[in-house]
Amino acid sequence: MKQILAVGLGGMIGALLRSGIYMVAADGLGLWLVNMIGSFLIGVAAIRLSHKSGELRLLISTGLLGSFTTFSAFSSAWFHYLESSIWLGIAFAFSMTLACIAAAGAGLWVDRKEVS
């Protein structure tokens, strides 16, 4: 039961944070911001939370960061770009995916440097 509550609480906080960024960011920029920030923080969390309780890892990684980042909005935007141009859709998908992987890698790298 603690695990379910941890995911739910983290999910609520992450969704509210994402909504806040969407409200203040220029149209389209919000998706990039939440996915880049979230991917970076997932990399950091992978190191920082590795020796913490299961509930804390679920609260932060699955709940908070999982609901903060948004694959469904990414997919929706991708189909929007594909309708406009196949090449624009491919460029969007490739650049977002590569940028998020790089951000997660940067989070891992930065936190490993801090820990060592």
Whether pTM > 0.85 for this model: the answer is yes
What DSSP character marks residue 52?
S
Structure tokens at 104: 């997660």
Give the pLDDT confidence of 43-98 residue by residue, as tens digits.
Answer: 999 999 989 999 999 999 999 999 999 888 899 999 999 999 999 999 999 999 99
- 66 annotated as a binding-site residue: yes
Is 3 exposed, middle or buried, given 0-12, 13-18 or 19+ CB atoms closer than 10 A? middle
Any idea what the Cα angle at residue 37 is, between residues 14 and 33, rounded to 5°?
90
- 8 annotated as a binding-site residue: no
The domain limits of the chain are 2-115
Please answer whether residues 46 and 108 qualify as being in contact, where contact means their C-beta atoms are separated by less than 8 angstroms: yes
Place 115 in a pLDDT band, splitting at 50, 70 and 90. low
